[in-house]
A and B are shown apart, each in its own frame.
Chain A
């Protein structure tokens, strides 16, 4: 085994090792400090953890492929909110109500199409104008939020459909419905990134755009597809979340982009592009959720969670730099 190989395994395994440490810490220390007498490693608790990871997790998956491609998307929170509003609002349209429960899949389609369209707008602007994705999506973060407010002003949009709520709260083969959505999305994206030409080219473009162009890869369509995918996934996340809750505030989804980026970076994906994996992001998402739940379990307040996650993010960055000491693979924007 070469040093490079060993380093690679070390890097890929780091997030899973971190999860194990968290589990051990919260089960041993946590159960002593805990306010409740339930064990932390309770089966139901762990299932709930996966379910709660789903909304941010699905967005983080999309952020991973965007970042592997060398871009970033700050507008996912606004896309999430707009898709949620379309989902709930569309079910109250007269012709949809005439459809009965068949309105549900149609409302999903509307929401997902909204997300994909918003993603396509971002992607086209980045492709055609050549403006940096950071700026484009910073702008559309504001713009999409404006569209959200157009629906109902500052009022929340609500619609409860009990068939839908039952489905979203249900279990299937032992796992919650949202968990299945997260796992399926992860599987599809993993196949996309590791087994298809698009995935290979996305890595190549993120790694060295000029070289990719010289190798005859058309950069634009790949970027566009990735933006459509992240828009779609942000909408999927909204579908998963709001099918259950049934009410959306116009400010919902704010700072989701930052949470998603945090999970992706914890998973080891490089901001500069060309390196990262879907599976590691899944690890990052679970690690953050474990931390939230674990700190809650030992009686810490939400404020401590923010503090700890922020500091861990920085610590990961420092560690990562130590691993890449020789100047190779240094992070840059």
Chain B
């Protein structure tokens, strides 16, 4: 069997992201031995976990053909709320209360985008601003801290280990497996792909488009609440702007993983790869001794190259046909 140019193109398009990942890992490992040390790898995954958990939820929204720009602002909200309630009603009640409130916000967005069919970009842009206002109102603009930092079991989620594995990694992995099964192995998952791929066709074949979109935002909100819990538990105190700007980083990870902004394509596994690539590149560049801002420039190049390869393979030619 001989490989033609087209075969190589197709292979690059399908597994390009994994190939790029492998190349990067090998390159960094050759440049610095410490890069592949177990504790370094664990450190990277651990610090990517919060972004990763959010990215898992946004994957559902994006596959369903929508965007979610409100996750960063919503994460600040859940972090602040759970920290505030921790001292008022105790951690056992604070956690479910925070999840409830965050899910309520998710349901509101899901209602607007799903049932009212409003443009998701603008709705979540508006919610970004509105939830930020809500967070500031809740906290009065002040930083939120747990009064008794050493005497609470609340740090369990962000700081403890089970069988030597840090909890954030465990939660991230568990959630990734569960959501991956939900997306790939259930009728609901198939419907998410159908709605994102061709909303009209999905409606005609009897799939309740509105309800599916609604649920993708609920899943996203659930993941955000989990990320807020991890963040709050790790630091036991927080600013009001802790998640600011994360919505775009999350989106970058999801797109890097190969989910199409038009909907209908992407997997949870690939998003995890996207998150890890961002994390390892950041870490690798620092270990080789480059300044932290180099990662921004490298990420820029990677995002555009990844998506470019993808669209180039789909249309069968490298340069765009735009005159």
Contacts and interface: CB of A to CB of B under 8 A. Distances in A.
Interface of A: 74, 125, 127-132, 134-136, 138-150, 153, 213, 218-220, 223, 254-255, 258, 261-262, 265, 271, 301-314, 317-318, 321, 330-333
Given A309-B129, A318-B116, A130 B315 contact: yes
Given A310-B133, A314-B112, A333-B121, 12 more contacts: A132-B307, A144-B300, A149-B291, A258-B69, A258-B129, A271-B121, A303-B136, A303-B137, A309-B130, A311-B126, A317-B123, A333-B119
Interface stretch (B23-31, B226-234, B245-253): B245-253
A149 B296 contact: yes
B296 A142 contact: yes
Nearest to B310: A131
B104 to A, nearest CB: 15
A139 B299 contact: yes
B293 A150 contact: yes
Contact of A313 (B125, B141, B251): B125
8 contacts: A129-B320, A130-B315, A146-B293, A146-B296, A265-B122, A271-B122, A306-B136, A333-B121
Contacts of A149: 291-293, 296
B294 A146 contact: yes
B41 interface: no
A147 B251 CA distance: 21
Interface in B235-251: 244-245, 248, 251
> Which 6 interchain pairs have the tightest Cβ spacing?
A130-B320, A143-B300, A310-B130, A146-B296, A307-B133, A303-B136
B67 A317 contact: no
A283 B321 CA distance: 37
Given A131-B311, A317-B119, A220 B322 contact: yes
Contacts of A134: 261
Contacts of B69: 258
Nearest to B260: A132
B209 interface: no
B304 interface: yes
Contact of A321 (B116, B131, B319): B116
A138 B134 contact: no
A302 to B, nearest CB: 7
Contacts of A141: 248
Given A135-B261, A153-B291, A261-B125, A318 B118 contact: yes
A255 B125 CA distance: 10
A270 to B, nearest CB: 9
B295 interface: yes
Contacts of A147: 293, 297
Given A254-B245, A317-B118, A129 B308 contact: yes
Contact of B125 (A130, A262, A332): A262
A182 B303 CA distance: 34
Contacts of B137: 301, 303-304, 307
Contact of A143 (B125, B261, B301): B301
Given A130-B320, A303-B137, A313 B303 contact: no
B17 interface: no
A316 to B, nearest CB: 9
Contact of A135 (B130, B136, B297, B303): B303
Among B130, B300, B307, the one with the most A-chain Cβ atoms within 10 Å of its Cβ is B300
